[in-house]
Amino acid sequence: MGNFFGRNQSFQMDTQSAEVGVEEGPNKIFISQQQVVDEEVQAKVEMLIAELHGTKHHPPNDPDAQKLDHGFHFFKTNIFDAHPEYFSELAKGQSPKFLVIACSDSRVSPSVVLNFKPGEAFVGRNIGNMVPQFDQLRHTEIGAVIEYAVKSLEVDNILVMGHSRCGGIERLMTLPDYTQTYDFIDEWVKIGLPAKKKVLQEAGDLPFAEQLTLCEKESVRNSMVNLLSYPFVRNAVVNGTMIVRGGYYDFVNGSFEQWKMCTH
Amino acid sequence: MQVMSSSPSLSPAFNNFSGAGKFSYEFGLKLRLKDEEPDKEEEEEEEEEEEEEEDNMGSESYEEAIAALSKLLSDKADLGSVAAAKIKRITTELEAAVADQTKFDPVKRIETGFLHFKKEKYEKNPDLYGALAKGQSPKFLVFACSDSRVCPSHILDFQPGEAFIVRNIANMVPPYDKTKYSGVGAAIEYAVVHLKVENIVVIGHSCCGGIKGLMSIPDDGTTSSDFIENWVSICAPAKTKVKSESNELSFSEQCNNCEKEAVNVSLGNLLTYPFVREAVVNKSVALKGAHYDFVDGKFSLWNLDFQISRFHPL
């Protein structure tokens, strides 16, 4: 059954059980009975259906859904409705000057950390803010983000933003790990292997925590270089219409540094 | 081509004036060639953002120079055309300096953006940021589009630490595939297995370029992009459904329907990840779909319910 608006609920009443599904729209109800259903169960089923007709599409005791609704309400009231011309212009089209590649880490949203307003930055977020080399088989997700930003939106800047205490980089530097394997994580973070190699070569004697910081920054540089393996990026950079930039947000010390790729 | 990692510090001294130096002037220089009383003091001040009001803060030392020039020209009329040429050149130089000054500076934009965050948020909430520095425990994994208008931190007011966020074209979740989709797989795996998020939310939005691209792929399947059309085809089942059910609607209405149906395809694809399926069956993770309409300013949210129930033998 593929109706994602449906709801399944099982009741256990004494020795009887009934399965009820309610589909929205045509209001079809089906009841499949494993055993004889008595009037009590029938009454409860009818009450449930009556409730479901009038309520919102999520149950009232779902605090996480409420949190999302409240969050949107805050945005709508304080930002969206407060700037109607701004948002109606934005609804017609976007023209951000930045593509930002940031980590999925909950602490490093570029909108928050760099105070980007709606419309300012096109953003791709993944584990470890990594840009792999051009690969039409293995890396269509990031390829599509970069392609859209560069070809359709013609952004002037690509900023790859790394950060402190990155779990992805830590995993990279911890490998190989024979005690725990992941389906995806280990293969993904290996995109940063050139950065790890460089850090081990040049700073292999430093404490692990310092190696992590160095690798977080080196991985950003590695990603910046990988960006040039995308022909549409390379062309824009060579033509001088786009600049590749790197950044590092340190939330332990509250600092941000940035650098850029220079072309000669 | 080299990658040069000279990291400029956060000093505000980034000077964008192309050799014009620092001086004061009125925006919209008016050359007065008549004699006027030069009653302004002579000051050299630093460059400021242009102000429309007519106050005498920028010192008018140029007025004295103009007074002297007009006196000279009234004495020597034959200098007129020479003077005109020189004045034109000065005007052009000044216009260029103004343009440089008002040109968008990405370095500065990033710098001021961070300083704003640091002052208004980071330094005002030391407890929160101190705790976050040690670790994160977000309750949400969110898939949102890369579109600059739909950042979840804005539209759902997520604070730092609350949501682990994946952003890609058209907020798509592809099915489990270690070769083709390791990025999405890694993010879901990290969020569900390691961070143990309690909700996965996939948020679609209005006027989505990726969905429009999907709906625009010709029926014979010819594509012209390197990645985009291949990527958005993840949600081809949504396109098929929309075209079969609402073929009479306008293209943009069909796109709107497809934005929502594609969210449902992504929710279904989430279940192809064993660690997601297990968590959903155990009720430790809830799957939710959503759609943000920035034309009308609306947000809708729905659940995906999935469970495996045993049939009792008769």
Express each pLDDT in A35-81 by its tens digit: 444 555 665 665 566 555 543 444 557 899 999 999 999 999 999 99
d(CA A79, CA A103) in angstroms, rounded, equals: 25
**How close, in Å, is residue A17 to chain B by CA atoms?**
9
Q: Look at residue A98 and tell me if it is in a domain.
A: yes
Q: Does A255 touch chain B (CB under 8 A)?
A: yes
Give the mean model confidence (pLDDT) for residues A115-119.
Answer: 98
Cβ–Cβ pairs < 8 A, chains A and B = 311
**Distance (Å) of CA B286 to CA A236, B200, B301:** 43, 6, 13
**How close, in Å, is residue B136 to chain A by CA atoms?**
7
Element (H, E) at A150: none
Q: Are A135 and A147 a contacting pair, CB within 8 Å?
A: no
pLDDT category of residue B100 using cuts at 50, 70 and 90: confident
Is residue B308 over pLDDT 50?
yes
**Distance (Å) of CA B238 to CA A6, B214, B255, B268:** 18, 10, 10, 11
> What pLDDT sits at residue B59?
54
Residues of A with Cβ-Cβ distance to B184 under 8 angstroms: 141
Give the mean model confidence (pLDDT) for residues A102-124.
Answer: 98
CB atoms within 10 A of CB A192: 28
d(CA B7, CA A217) in angstroms, rounded, equals: 11
Give the helix, strand, coil percentages of chain B, each rounded to 5.
45, 10, 45
pLDDT category of residue B15 using cuts at 50, 70 and 90: very low
Please identify which residue in the block is written with the tokens 């010709």. Answer: B218
pLDDT tens digits, one per residue of B181-203: 999 999 999 999 999 999 999 99
**pLDDT > 90 in chain B, percent:** 63
Give the helix, strand, coil percentages of chain A, each rounded to 5.
45, 20, 35
- Candidate from A151, A164, A259 with C-beta closest to B7: A259
- Candidate from B226, B289, B294 with C-beta closest to A91: B294
Q: Give the three-class secondary structure for B133.
A: helix
User: How many domains are contained in chain A?
Assistant: 1
10 Å CB burial of residue A140 (0-12, 13-18, 19+) is buried
pLDDT mean across residues, chain A: 85
Is residue B44 over pLDDT 50?
no
Domain extent for A136: 94-260
Q: Look at residue A240 and tell me if it is in a domain.
A: yes
**How close, in Å, is residue B86 to chain A by CA atoms?**
33
CB atoms within 10 A of CB A205: 8
d(CA B210, CA B220) in angstroms, rounded, equals: 19
Q: What pTM value is reported for the model? A: 0.76
d(CA A97, CA A93) in angstroms, rounded, equals: 13
Please give the residue of chain A at the shortest CA–CA distance from B129: A251
> What pLDDT sits at residue A4?
37
Cα angle: A252, vertex A254, A256; to 5 degrees? 115
CA nearest neighbour of B255 among B210, B195, B288, B294:
B210
Q: Look at residue A113 and tell me if it is in a domain.
A: yes
Q: Look at residue A248 and tell me if it is in a domain.
A: yes
Would you call A125 and B166 a contact, using CB atoms and an 8 Å cutoff? yes
Would you call A182 and B161 a contact, using CB atoms and an 8 Å cutoff? no
pLDDT tens digits, one per residue of A121-151: 999 999 999 999 999 999 999 999 999 999 9
pLDDT tens digits, one per residue of A188-209: 999 999 999 999 999 999 999 9
Amino acid at the residue B119? K
Amino acid at the residue B225? S
- Candidate from B123, B179, B187 with C-beta closest to A127: B187
Q: Look at residue A231 and tell me if it is in a domain.
A: yes
pLDDT tens digits, one per residue of B81-94: 888 888 889 888 88
**How close, in Å, is residue A197 to chain B by CA atoms?**
17
Give the mean model confidence (pLDDT) for residues B129-141.
Answer: 97
Binding residues of A for Zn(2+): 103, 105, 163, 166
Q: Look at residue A184 and tell me if it is in a domain.
A: yes
Cα angle: A218, vertex B1, A210; to 5 degrees? 10
Q: Look at residue A68 and tell me if it is in a domain.
A: no
Is residue A167 over pLDDT 70?
yes
State phi, psi for A118 to the nearest 5 degrees: -55, 130
State phi, psi for B94 to the nearest 5 degrees: -65, -40
pLDDT category of residue A119 using cuts at 50, 70 and 90: very high
DSSP for residue A61: T
Residues of A with Cβ-Cβ distance to B112 under 8 angstroms: 115
Q: Are A41 and A18 a contacting pair, CB within 8 Å?
A: yes
> What pLDDT sits at residue B118?
97
Would you call A75 and B169 a contact, using CB atoms and an 8 Å cutoff? no
pLDDT category of residue B77 using cuts at 50, 70 and 90: confident
Copy the structure tokens of residue A61: 């005791």
Residues of A with Cβ-Cβ distance to B275 under 8 angstroms: 183
CATH code at A143? Answer: 3.40.1050.10
Would you call B301 and A221 a contact, using CB atoms and an 8 Å cutoff? no
d(CA B287, CA B301) in angstroms, rounded, equals: 11
Q: Are B284 and B198 a contacting pair, CB within 8 Å?
A: yes
> What pLDDT sits at residue B312?
75
Residues of B with Cβ-Cβ distance to A31 under 8 angstroms: none
pLDDT tens digits, one per residue of B197-226: 999 999 999 999 999 999 999 999 899 999
Copy the structure tokens of residue B104: 């968008």
Please give the full DSSP string across B145-162, using - where no structure is assigned.
Answer: E--TT--HHHHT-PPTTS
Q: Look at residue A239 and tell me if it is in a domain.
A: yes
**Distance (Å) of CA B191 to CA A90, A110, A147, B198:** 32, 19, 27, 9
Q: Are B199 and A64 a contacting pair, CB within 8 Å?
A: yes
Q: Which residues of B are known catalytic residues?
A: 145, 147, 149, 205, 208
Bridge partner residues of B298 (DSSP): B293
pLDDT mean across residues, chain B: 84
Give the mean model confidence (pLDDT) for residues B250-259.
Answer: 97
d(CA A123, CA A100) in angstroms, rounded, equals: 5
Residues of B with Cβ-Cβ distance to A71 under 8 angstroms: 155-158
